[in-house]
Structure 1
Amino acid sequence: MKNLFFATLVVMLPFFTMAQISVTGKVTDINQKPLSGATIKLRNQKTSVLSDANGNYTLNNLTIGKLIIIVSYVGFKTEEKAVDLKEPAVFNFNLVQQNFLAEEVVVRATRANEKSATTYKNVSKEDIQQNNFGQDLPFILQNTPGVVVNSDAGAGVGYTGIRIRGSDNSRINVTVNGIPMNDSESQGTYYVNMPDFASSVDNIQIQRGVGTSTNGAGAFGASLNIQTTASETNPYAELNNTFGSFNTWKNTVKVGTGLINNRFSFDGRLSRISSDGYVDRGASLLKSYFLSGAYHGNKDLLRLNVFSGTEKTYQSWNGIPESRLNNDVAGMKAYIARNELSDVDAENLLNSGRTYNSFLYNNQTDNYTQNHYQLIYARQFSDQFSFNGALHYTQGAGYYEEYRVRNKLSDFGLNPVVIGGTTISTTDLIRRRWLDNDFYGVTYAFNYVPKKNLNFTLGGAYNEYKGDHFGQIIWAQYASNGNIDRHYYDNEGFKTDFNVYGKMNYNPIAELSLFVDLQYRRVYYDIAGTENKLNTLAINETLNFFNPKFGATYFINPQSNVYASFSVANKEPNRNDYTDAAVGTFPKPEQLNDIEIGYRFKNAVFNLGANAYGMFYKNQLVVTGKINDVGGNFRQNVDRSYRMGIEVDGSYVINPQFVLNANAALSRNKIKNFTEFTDDYDNGGQILKNFELTDISYSPSAVLFGELVYKPISGFAIALQSKYVSKQYLDNTQNDSRTINGYWVNNARLGYDFKFAGVKNINLGLLVNNILDKKFESNGYTYGYVYGGSRVTENFFYPQAGTNFLLSLNVKF
């Protein structure tokens, strides 16, 4: 019933529209040349329309009264016109070209637009600011279609994750200003290393599915295309502060010079976020800065970005056993016996409640610093030809520290210790596992528009990665022949990533847009040294990928269009897929064929996007329970799997006071043939069991969202939000005893903007999460084994916080 209610609500939005008056007009430059694709919208409303090939536009269903119409076009100054609407009217706009190059050119090559046969969602600066209370970036995006987020510490600060269409972090391509952000080896993006980055973001485009060709990791679920803050015309200073539950604090200072001599600008941000977390000892201390300087020429733009993040996070990675979650005392005692917990650990388990954290060592922390340098240049050579490119360098270093009990000395390459004639082969110890890496390269894109109806883009990138992995023992009960500087394992990963793509958009007639997008990508990967189990690594592989994309968009009228596309993506295995595989074997790369069909509609009060998709995988890597030759679990290729679904995303301005937003993602996610491997502790080896058409793990069949925004007076808004995520399986056997229960969570957000002399704006914000105090878990994992003639299943979950709040005060001078 929940699914049906939300889906019906979204689909029925168009029928709520009341017949009202319209505004028409034409958008041209000062020479009366029509501007096709200009954006026309009303202030404080999300919906917008685009001008057609002749520059004409229509805003339907407008409310009688005073309105402000805003018209914008890349390369031209935005124009606003205040009108007092009493009857249908005509308003023409003559835009003046800017005397400097627009910032949008930096990301234009990798962005989708209204003419693209791509399923995407634009998240504006206003949307980001409204939802930015200091939580990590995934939580700011959680109300977009098909998105499910999770937090190890339970409150959205620290280690967080995001899944889109069921695809995890390692399958979502992330770029900042067109520069790859995914880690080259794990292919994930660690938002904990980018604290408060949202405060320096101008806009984000989420492309679901394969999307357009971009740089970096293969997009198997979605792409996040992030553009950092553009320069403001006038000087400014901002103080942003948040306080909330679990002793959460965010303090941010932002300053900017505005345009100096109409050419130069400098912007800066300094942030600190701290939180104790919902989970016991799940504390985070996050620090970051963002500096940017730019030269704005008439036809060129040069920008240098330097930003950094430092995190110290107490580990809450292990989650909570199912018996502890359910307060099952007998189950907890059985868990204690099976895992031979010490008295201290057993007491911690029995007495902690939902906020249980298995770690007790006071410095069981993750520590990492990541520094980014981006030099971006864009040039408009003529009306037909332009270029943008970037040089980039990222340096990261850090470790996680952990206390280990009764570990074998031989596991660390240490000799047994003989004391008083007794040979000691195990020890308690504290170890650190280090990663010290460098990532650097170049990205570029040329854009050529020989005719009004024809557009070519040639782009690509070359990047290199070097990552040193090593381990140290900083304390041991029995040190044996070790010392604090010794590396008990040491290996280096080296990876190159080259890609080149060509895109063409062609409009044979005004109503039809065709596109072809062809990408070649070459990946070289080498790992050498000893890994943490002291095995020798000698891995070397080169992979060549061809990723074609084709599509068409047909404009029914200026307000609506339909589109269809077919795209291919290929993705290399992760580092662990190589290092965990049996000696002499390599995992296969994954391939995805993606079909997208959609419909879009926009007018002044209503915005609707509806699409259907089919994502068909070959050799997708999934966890099966199979172990390698040293007993480690690893992912294995499955021959065929697929995701099919429909997504609907709508926004309706009921009247100037009420806005309704809603989206729904309904899907079927299946592996055609799956073999589970279970360890047999009774007889040795593993037991195999075959399954057909099982659900893919962590892939809910329904993700639904609704929001009602009420604006009773100018500057004040209340938003009531509701999100439902259906049941998720923890593994690929579709076993109901290994699931994350579905959950329905409600939040409320309040915001009030006002100003007085000497202050440009003051914003008071309040975010109340989980207002009904729902007990739910958004993530988990499972493993099992056969012991004593029966299967033992160990399920672990990540509980999320009950009712909690974040209160913000933002002042802009």
Structure 2
Amino acid sequence: MKTVLLAGAALCALATAPAWAQGPVSGTVTDARTGEALPGATILLDGTASGTTDATGAFALPAVPAGTHELRISFLGYDALVQRVEGQAGEQRLRNALQPGAVLTGEALVTASQANDRTGTAYTNLSKEDLAKRNFGQDLPYLLDQTPSVVVNSDAGAGVGYTDIRIRGTSNTGINMTINGVPLNDPESRGSFLVNLPDLASSINSLQVQRGVGTSQNGGAAFGASINISTLGVRREAYAESQNTYGSFNTWKNNVQFGTGLVGGHFTVDGRLSRIATDGYMNRAASDLKSYYFAAGYQAKSTLLKFITFSGREKTYQAWNGVPEPAITGNRALLQTYVDNGELSEANAARVLREGRRYSYYTYDNQTDNYQQNHYQLHLSQGLGPNWNVGAAAHLTRGFGYYESYRERRKFSDYGLPNVVVGNQTITRTNLIDQKWLDNYFYGGTFALNYQPREGKLQATLGGAWNRFNNDHYGEIIWAQYAQNIAHRQRYYFNNATKTDYNAYARATWQATSWLGVYGDLQLRRIGYRIDGIEDDQNDVTTRARYTFFNPKAGTTVSLGHGQQLYASFAVGQREPVRADFTDRPAGDQTARPERLEDYEGGYRINRAGLSWLGLITDVRFEANYYFMNYRDQLVATGQLNDVGTALRTNVARSYRRGLELTGAVAAADKISLSSTLTLSQNRIQNYRDVVYDENFEAVVGAPRTSTISYSPAVVSAHTLEGQPLKGLRTALLLKTVSRQYLDNSANKNRSLQPYQTLDFRVRYAFRPVFMKEIELAILVNNLLNREYAANGYTYSYVGASGRQETFNWYYPQATRNFLASVNVKF
């Protein structure tokens, strides 16, 4: 309620603000040869994405302030049109005719998987400029925090290092991520570990978040959303830039970027070097992150060939354990329960009281995660006459690294080693240091054949991909207090996993009339997965699994005129179990079934410019989207543990997510704007059965009931109020609200994250001295109101020392008030 009142108050303030704006600009975009309308053309004003043309080729811009501005219109297969627009009183109407036969840009390689106003789906587009506003060095999820239905969190507490994003309550294991159409998710765990690609946002040209199943994607299924990242694009003029940030917790970001522009009309080279380092909000939660990006391209009238390589290397102290509940509450009795049950030692308990919510479980100096990921992509885009083009890519991702741990009093038998005999004494346990390694290759190819006729009524794509993942998992002992017949870097487990994934899809949109459009999308996906060897618990994890999925999608759009649209869609998504669903079960148990999602979406959009409201010329956007995501055989944690204490997941027959997403924005020229998003949802498991343990350590299955899906808040909202009181000076307030989240599926408040609300403040000032293109000074104050909250956690239960069920909650506290300040220069 506070959030709604605040948004209403801000809207009232906007309505009574001075009328800074000048007149709106609208027009149509057509083919210069045939005069046919070009729907879906991209409109940019002063380099900022300002919308696309509708089914009739029409567009409308916000009221343009006084002065000279650059209007850029682009459409695949046409020369971009750039013209000057003067802000003036009264409405301006433009007619823009594009010449066919343009030099191809990188857009041809990624548009095949993107949603648009013809697909009847819910999506958000972010431009390079949109991301740059928030980019102070925090990980990519934090740059998406203000988009609909998004919740983010950070292990180290400040947005650098290991971070996570949830959309509609689904973690990144259910969010399909691609970079230039190439899958990013780990094929086994399905997670996208963006810590391996620090400062990726600085090289992003555009990004689209599709909520729900969305359009067919390469890689794993989208069970909550998909994030399509494009680093492609052509900057025709040479440039050099540097971004430098310093902030709380000794956080540093430094990067340099450069580009040659278009050389000789055909060649481009772009590059970036970055380093991000921080001590972290949590104690002993430091990160040292390095990355690079390099691209070299050749383009002609109908051909684009581009080689891209980017890499990230991370060294992070392991903050992934979180902190025990008593560290937050200060409850000494509860702390003693953790000690009595061996969850904390006496020494650790003393540190809990001393360090509080910034407590770190680990004290070993090199308790670190060390990983490097190198990406190589070769892209080809080729025009095939006036109506056809094809995009194809070959890719290789090389990943390798380990995390190192100090472990106390470990049994030799747990490592497949004999006991140590000294005289008459047999030693069965030892302190040791081990490293757990991953060493993998991910490679394959993608393609998309696009039919895009000049008249634009029918557009179609035939695409697909073939990808293979080969991953070695192994562990080595690098030191032991007691050792006998142990080789240097003694290997104590090894298993190899291979996964082959290929898919093919056909998609088409047809503008049947000026007001009615239909959309269809059919995908066939095949997966083969095998594991050979033993896991770290010495269990045989040999696995053989094959899956075939058919995923149909369909939608319709109805144009109501005046920038209004109704839409609806239906989509099926299916996905295979993850690695842990095989390896954490008893040997040979492969009973986990694949999951199926039926996603129903429907909504209303309006995008109007130049409206007169209480004396103001304003631009208004609004969207209301209803979704119903019906799951079959969703895999959820039951509360049951395997023989080494790992939580097991099981298929539940029926579960669903349903909700209403409201998104709106009001802008008065370039002076003041308010954007808001609010999601209200229900997330339920039907006939769910809890598993608890009795005093004899026997699992007891509870009665069936309807329960709330874990990590799924019923209310999520985000609001940004931004103004430009002086030329070049922009200030913004960013409010985020997240309601209660349960740590498991029991809907028990004692196992939950408290609701929280945070307010950030951002100010940026840019000016243009004569000796360089631009200097920008910026500061971001996170958590301005100094709230203490946790954005993530986990829970587990068993019969404790008291003889009764004990529950242990662990949380990830987020940083209190902190700042990041940057100096960015452009040449």
Specify the TM-score bucket, using the shorter chain as the normaliser. Answer: over 0.9
Verify the 8 A CA contact 1:174 1:223 in the aligned structure 2: yes
- 2-structure distance, mates of 1:360, 1:545: 47
| Residues 149-548 of structure 1 mapped to structure 2, 5 A cutoff | 149-339=152-342, 341-449=344-452, 452-548=456-552
C-alpha displacement at 1:387, in angstroms?
Answer: 0.1
Q: Quick one: which amino acid aligns to residue 680 of structure 2?
A: L
* Matched position secondary structure for 2:341: helix
- 2-structure distance, mates of 1:341, 1:69: 62
* Matched position secondary structure for 1:189: coil
Matching residue of 1:603: 608
Q: Quick one: which amino acid aligns to residue 673 of structure 2?
A: V
Please tell me whether residue 667 in structure 1 is matched to residue 681 in structure 2: yes
Q: Quick one: which amino acid aligns to residue 543 of structure 2?
A: I
- 1-structure distance, mates of 2:546, 2:93: 60
Please tell me whether residue 33 in structure 1 is matched to residue 47 in structure 2: no
Verify the 8 A CA contact 1:42 1:67 in the aligned structure 2: no
Q: Which deviations, in whole Å up to 9, do the C-alpha atoms of 1:386-413 show, x marking residues without a partner?
A: 1001000000000001111111110001
Verify the 8 A CA contact 1:49 1:559 in the aligned structure 2: no
Q: Quick one: which amino acid aligns to residue 95 of structure 1?
A: L
* Matched position secondary structure for 1:807: strand
Verify the 8 A CA contact 1:395 1:439 in the aligned structure 2: yes
Please tell me whether residue 749 in structure 1 is matched to residue 762 in structure 2: yes
C-alpha displacement at 1:559, in angstroms?
Answer: 0.9
- 2-structure distance, mates of 1:558, 1:16: 25
Verify the 8 A CA contact 2:623 2:663 in the aligned structure 1: yes
Verify the 8 A CA contact 2:721 2:734 in the aligned structure 1: yes
Closer, same or farther: CA 16–624 of 1 in aligned 2, 3 Å = farther
Greater shift, 583-592 or 714-723, is seen at: 583-592
Matching residue of 1:762: 775
C-alpha displacement at 1:598, in angstroms?
Answer: 1.2
| Residues 644-723 of structure 1 mapped to structure 2, 5 A cutoff | 644-680=658-694, 682-723=695-736
C-alpha displacement at 1:698, in angstroms?
Answer: 0.3
| Residues 83-122 of structure 1 mapped to structure 2, 5 A cutoff | 83-97=86-100, 99-122=102-125
Verify the 8 A CA contact 1:32 1:94 in the aligned structure 2: no
Q: Quick one: which amino acid aligns to residue 809 of structure 1?
A: V
Matching residue of 1:577: 581
Q: Quick one: which amino acid aligns to residue 2 of structure 1?
A: K
C-alpha displacement at 1:44, in angstroms?
Answer: 7.9
Closer, same or farther: CA 698–13 of 1 in aligned 2, 3 Å = farther
Q: Quick one: which amino acid aligns to residue 368 of structure 1?
A: Y
C-alpha displacement at 1:422, in angstroms?
Answer: 1.3
Closer, same or farther: CA 8–622 of 1 in aligned 2, 3 Å = farther
- 2-structure distance, mates of 1:640, 1:663: 29
Please tell me whether residue 559 in structure 1 is matched to residue 563 in structure 2: yes
C-alpha displacement at 1:757, in angstroms?
Answer: 1.8
- How many positions carry a matched residue from both structures? 810
Please tell me whether residue 780 in structure 1 is matched to residue 793 in structure 2: yes
- 2-structure distance, mates of 1:252, 1:777: 31
Q: Which deviations, in whole Å up to 9, do the C-alpha atoms of 1:628-674 show, x marking residues without a partner?
A: 35654221111110000010111111354211111111100000121
- 1-structure distance, mates of 2:635, 2:143: 29
Structure 2's unaligned 5+ residue stretches are 610-618
Matching residue of 2:627: 613
C-alpha displacement at 1:185, in angstroms?
Answer: 0.4
C-alpha displacement at 1:709, in angstroms?
Answer: 0.4
Please tell me whether residue 5 in structure 1 is matched to residue 5 in structure 2: yes
Please tell me whether residue 590 in structure 1 is matched to residue 595 in structure 2: yes
Closer, same or farther: CA 191–13 of 1 in aligned 2, 3 Å = farther
Verify the 8 A CA contact 2:28 2:53 in the aligned structure 1: no
- 1-structure distance, mates of 2:779, 2:443: 40
* Matched position secondary structure for 2:484: coil
Q: Quick one: which amino acid aligns to residue 228 of structure 1?
A: T
Q: Which deviations, in whole Å up to 9, do the C-alpha atoms of 1:118-140 show, x marking residues without a partner?
A: 11000111011111111111111
* Matched position secondary structure for 2:107: helix
Verify the 8 A CA contact 1:654 1:660 in the aligned structure 2: no
- 1-structure distance, mates of 2:482, 2:447: 55
* Matched position secondary structure for 1:92: strand
Verify the 8 A CA contact 2:49 2:127 in the aligned structure 1: no
- 2-structure distance, mates of 1:98, 1:329: 73
C-alpha displacement at 1:98, in angstroms?
Answer: 6.8
C-alpha displacement at 1:449, in angstroms?
Answer: 3.6
C-alpha displacement at 1:625, in angstroms?
Answer: 1.7
- 2-structure distance, mates of 1:706, 1:374: 37
- 2-structure distance, mates of 1:733, 1:648: 29
Closer, same or farther: CA 647–67 of 1 in aligned 2, 3 Å = farther
Q: TM-score, normalised by structure 2?
A: 0.94
Greater shift, 367-376 or 27-36, is seen at: 27-36
Q: Quick one: which amino acid aligns to residue 493 of structure 1?
A: A
Q: TM-score, normalised by structure 1?
A: 0.96
Q: Percent identity at matched positions?
A: 44
Matching residue of 1:72: 73
Matching residue of 1:123: 126
Q: Quick one: which amino acid aligns to residue 68 of structure 1?
A: H
Q: Which deviations, in whole Å up to 9, do the C-alpha atoms of 1:72-127 show, x marking residues without a partner?
A: 12233142332242334433223345741122111010001121211100011101
* Matched position secondary structure for 1:352: helix
* Matched position secondary structure for 2:170: coil
- 2-structure distance, mates of 1:77, 1:304: 23
C-alpha displacement at 1:277, in angstroms?
Answer: 0.1
Q: Quick one: which amino acid aligns to residue 588 of structure 1?
A: R
Closer, same or farther: CA 66–811 of 1 in aligned 2, 3 Å = closer
Q: Quick one: which amino acid aligns to residue 572 of structure 1?
A: E
Please tell me whether residue 740 in structure 1 is matched to residue 753 in structure 2: yes
Verify the 8 A CA contact 1:50 1:558 in the aligned structure 2: no
Q: Which deviations, in whole Å up to 9, do the C-alpha atoms of 1:291-337 show, x marking residues without a partner?
A: 10000110011000011100000001111111111112232233223
Verify the 8 A CA contact 2:539 2:587 in the aligned structure 1: no
Q: Quick one: which amino acid aligns to residue 464 of structure 1?
A: R
Q: Quick one: which amino acid aligns to residue 514 of structure 2?
A: A
Q: Which deviations, in whole Å up to 9, do the C-alpha atoms of 1:705-762 show, x marking residues without a partner?
A: 1111010122110001111000000000000111100000000111111111221111
Verify the 8 A CA contact 2:795 2:808 in the aligned structure 1: yes
- 1-structure distance, mates of 2:216, 2:444: 18
Closer, same or farther: CA 65–345 of 1 in aligned 2, 3 Å = closer
Closer, same or farther: CA 781–58 of 1 in aligned 2, 3 Å = closer
Closer, same or farther: CA 80–713 of 1 in aligned 2, 3 Å = farther
* Matched position secondary structure for 1:646: strand
* Matched position secondary structure for 1:107: helix
Q: Quick one: which amino acid aligns to residue 503 of structure 2?
A: N
- 2-structure distance, mates of 1:558, 1:480: 80
Closer, same or farther: CA 672–14 of 1 in aligned 2, 3 Å = farther
Q: Quick one: which amino acid aligns to residue 498 of structure 2?
A: F
